[in-house]
Amino acid sequence: MIPVQGFAGKKVAVLGLGRSGLATAVALEAGGATPVVWDDNEAARDAAEKQGYPATDLRKAGVWEDIATLIVSPGIPHLYPEPNPVVRNATAAGVPIDNDIGLFFRSFATYEWDGFDVAPRVIAITGSNGKSTTAALIHHVLTHARRPSQLAGNIGRGVLDIDPAHDGEVVVLELSSYQTELARSLTPDVAVFTNLSPDHLDRHGGIGGYFAAKRRLFAEGGPDRAVIGVDEKEGRFLANQMAEGPADDRVIRISVDAKLTGPGWAVFARKGFLSEYRKGRQMGSIDLRKIKGLPGAHNHQNACAAYAAVRTLGIAPKVIKAAFHSFGGLAHRSQIVGTANGVTYVNDSKATNVDAAQKALLAFRNIRWIAGGQGKTGGISSLAPHLGNVRKAYLIGASAEEFASQLGDTPYQICETMERAVAAASKDAEEGDTVLLAPAAASFDQYKSFEHRGDDFTAIVAALIDG
């Protein structure tokens, strides 16, 4: 646990009592603050009270007179589409608003670091797609290189729930736009921007607000190194803003669309080969084609981002290469969950938007595509140019009819449920086919989370193969 600094003897309000909210209350108390907690959900309030944190109704205006700050959990809106009533009350009372990420960055460093030979460092990763795999891959490389490391944030443990830093340790954080948009302190040593595609637009008031939320990771704290994907205009703009000139190697540009060989520092992947260039000279290369845990161009982009991040720590290319080969992939992200009769079953339940689904569709051949769920604005119409690898689609969930109307000439079958979709796809599949779950939709119409959806797919496939 990271005790929160700066609020000893003060009352701090906590809104949202899920995993991060409860961890925040514990960390505040450990730092000498008095947490005043609330959740709009009664069951969450009851669970918190059982852990010693009785709720105080923060919707009442009179409670704010002696509150030092309000800590808001990531899923709770503070601006768009409408502020939560508790947030509105805090704003009216002039109470500062922060989140657990801001508390982490103001509390992680301690006086004990004065005795360390090597100061701990923080690598923070954001972006629309690939940030979980990138974070896990960085952590894996560090572990392989025997560098002490912890994985936290939107993956692994909550940021305030990790252990205090050891000498030379590296904390790897995956940060969503919900987490970066509100944090008052954002000071990673290395910041990584993978890519940008439309997502969470209602929460951020449009694509500009969404990009602005992610850009804060770079603009607020000024990282020592910035690893930036430049395959979209937003990434190119961000790299331009962070660099003092073409040769400024504090910015490492990454790409899977272009060969980057200018005077600065760049890592790119072309035709399955990763290359590192610095000052116009090649410094390293890795053949990614036979690395089973990193299939497809989207995972090659993740590999470029992870490679660049760990290179800033001085880890050698040959060590990174060996670590990549032992990386088993991340659950629900292009995860091979079974093979039978020459048919491969792949769980990419994390592909909750069309951009992520597109990357999965381009990573495999002869696809039996399971898609659908709680569809997002625009459906899957933008995927039309990328369906060449799809032999047939098997549609589930609330968006099944809508998705069917946008498939053009691609054969489809409306299956409604995951069990029916897997059964139908398996029956149709021939040797060399891939049954791919890449929903291009959220999961909440039928499941608690994308993990729940992916676990259901995996269990059904296991039963089918074992049966």
Return binding residues for ATP: 127-133
Tokens 């508390």 sit on residue: 103
Write out the two tokens for 243.
């660099």
Contact (Cβ atoms closer than 8 angstroms) between residue 215 and residue 181: no
Going through 232-389 in order, the beta strands assigned E by DSSP cover: 251-255, 265-270, 273-278, 281-287, 335-340, 343-347, 367-372
Backbone region of residue 42 per phi and psi (left: phi > 0; alpha: psi in -120 to 50; beta: other values): alpha
Secondary structure of residue 401 in the 3-state scheme: helix
CA distance 398 to 372: 7
Annotated binding site: 127-133
> CA–CA separation, 357 vs 348, rounded Å?
8
The 8-class DSSP code of residue 434 comes to E
Tokens encoding 100: 């657990």
Q: Are 250 and 191 in contact (CB under 8 A)?
A: no
Instruction: Print burial letters for 81-102: b (CB count within 10 Å at least 16), e (below 16).
Output: eebbebbebbeeeebebbbbbb
